[in-house]
């Protein structure tokens, strides 16, 4: 009987511990779930959470100016982009709370909204951003021209794939996608370029060696063509191709163009640059004779295959130093005779004194 009572107590004790364990486990699970829910409310939203709204197609917002701001992001495009591993709030600062309402967009038009993200890209792309900061585009922007291109005008942030993996349909065949973006703003320049020896050769696919916009103007560090820096470095830009023997042989062109240019004009520019680097040279550079975007439309001056300073500048007749006698005048002649006479008498007297000294010895 005593053993049976002990067994019953032990059984009840074990059952009690088991039930308490179950209750504790359930309560702990509820606490964790509650904590997880709270963290979900306070933490940074994931891309999928943002796209639960922004994944809607044709979700637009009308701005005060009447501009339509598209708020839709295609998930398939985004997961193929170079930014697929980033969270939305790394760029869209101030939108961390989810699902609470976002900060109200205060931009009056679409351009003003884009400008609010002007400095965003530099957090990751510091090198490129620094190059853009020194470019003509950002110089104009800082001067108040808000229509100059920003990062997002050339790189769509929700769709931009890695530069090495781009497969963008081109409107002009073999023109690079970067040059095509330039053409969207620089319409007149691009029309001139398309009919030039460079553009026509590249577009038709006949001459793949031909340069397009970025070969001459760079991508991010775009120099102002009206400044002396571009004018002086433009010779080096042309020389990159026109001194390349392998490339020039294809088109039957000479490669000594830089040497012939440096005989006079190039040397003058170099000397001027050393003397005053900030000055704008008025000496001709390549594009003064050959054109800028319309290269090849006009026939440039004939350039000799073999040239030197002596063939350019004939031997100068050597003349005696000093002005001609007729330009001296009567007074000059009298002064000259007087000085000559005094000099002759002085020399003669010195000679006599020396002779006398020798005789006395």
80: nearest Cα among 173, 175, 161: 161
Q: What rounded mean pLDDT belongs to the chain?
A: 75
Beta-carbon contacts of residue 108 (< 8 Å; ≥ 6 apart): 63, 64, 65
What pLDDT sits at residue 259? Answer: 78
Q: From CA 129, how far away is CA 336, in angstroms rounded?
A: 73
- Per residue in 243-276, pLDDT tens? 999 999 988 888 888 877 777 666 666 655 665 6
What pLDDT sits at residue 14? Answer: 59
Q: Which of 112-121, 175-184, 345-354 has the weakest average pLDDT?
A: 345-354
- Alpha helix segments (H runs only) across 143-186: 151-154, 177-185
Q: From CA 329, how far away is CA 256, in angstroms rounded?
A: 52
Output the CA torsion 125→126→132→133 (10° steps): 150
For residue 163, what are the CA distances in angstroms to 130, 155, 167?
A: 19, 10, 9
Predicted TM-score (pTM) of this structure: 0.61
Beta-carbon contacts of residue 182 (< 8 Å; ≥ 6 apart): 190, 213, 214, 217
190 burial class (0-12, 13-18, 19+ CB within 10 angstroms)?
buried
Q: From CA 71, how far away is CA 95, in angstroms rounded?
A: 14
160 burial class (0-12, 13-18, 19+ CB within 10 angstroms)?
middle
Q: From CA 323, how far away is CA 339, in angstroms rounded?
A: 18
Band (pLDDT 50/70/90 cuts) for residue 29 is very low
- Per residue in 77-90, pLDDT tens? 898 888 989 989 89
> Which regions of the chain does DSSP assign to beta strands (E)?
60-62, 68-70
Residue 18 pLDDT greater than 60, yes or no? no
78: nearest Cα among 155, 161, 153, 154: 161
Per domain, the residue ranges of the chain are 46-115
69: nearest Cα among 119, 110, 13, 121: 110
What pLDDT sits at residue 226? Answer: 80
């Amino acid at each position: 009987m005593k053993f049976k009572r002990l067994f019953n107590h032990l059984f009840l004790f074990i059952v009690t511990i088991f039930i308490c364990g179950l209750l504790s486990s359930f309560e702990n699970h509820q606490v964790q779930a509650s904590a997880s829910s709270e963290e979900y409310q306070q933490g940074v939203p994931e891309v999928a959470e943002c796209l639960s709204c922004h994944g809607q197609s044709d979700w637009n917002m009308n701005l005060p100016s009447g501009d339509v701001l598209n708020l839709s992001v295609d998930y398939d495009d985004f997961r193929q982009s170079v930014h697929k591993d980033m969270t939305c709030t790394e760029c869209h600062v101030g939108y961390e709370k989810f699902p609470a309402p976002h900060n109200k967009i205060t931009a009056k038009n679409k351009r003003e909204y884009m400008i609010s993200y002007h400095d965003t890209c530099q957090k990751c792309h510091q090198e490129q951003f620094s190059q853009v900061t020194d470019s003509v585009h950002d110089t104009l922007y800082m001067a108040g021209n808000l229509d100059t291109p920003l990062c997002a005008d050339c790189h769509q942030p929700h769709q931009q794939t890695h530069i090495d993996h781009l497969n963008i349909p081109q409107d002009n065949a073999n023109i690079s996608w970067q040059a095509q973006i330039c053409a969207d703003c620089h319409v007149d320049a691009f029309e001139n370029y398309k009919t030039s020896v460079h553009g026509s050769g590249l577009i038709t696919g006949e001459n793949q060696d031909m340069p397009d916009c970025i070969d001459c103007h760079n991508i991010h560090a775009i120099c102002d063509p009206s400044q002396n820096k571009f004018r002086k470095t433009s010779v080096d830009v042309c020389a990159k191709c026109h001194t390349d023997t392998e490339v020039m042989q294809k088109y039957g062109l000479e490669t000594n163009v830089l040497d012939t240019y440096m005989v006079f004009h190039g040397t003058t520019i170099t000397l001027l640059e050393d003397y005053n680097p900030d000055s704008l040279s008025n000496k001709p550079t390549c594009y003064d004779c050959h054109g800028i975007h319309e290269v090849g439309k006009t026939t440039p001056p004939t350039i000799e295959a073999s040239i030197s300073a002596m063939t350019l500048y004939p031997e100068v007749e050597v003349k005696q130093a000093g002005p001609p006698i007729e330009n001296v005048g009567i007074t000059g002649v009298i002064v000259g005779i007087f000085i000559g006479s005094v000099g002759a008498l002085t020399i003669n007297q010195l000679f006599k004194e020396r002779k006398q000294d020798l005789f006395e010895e």
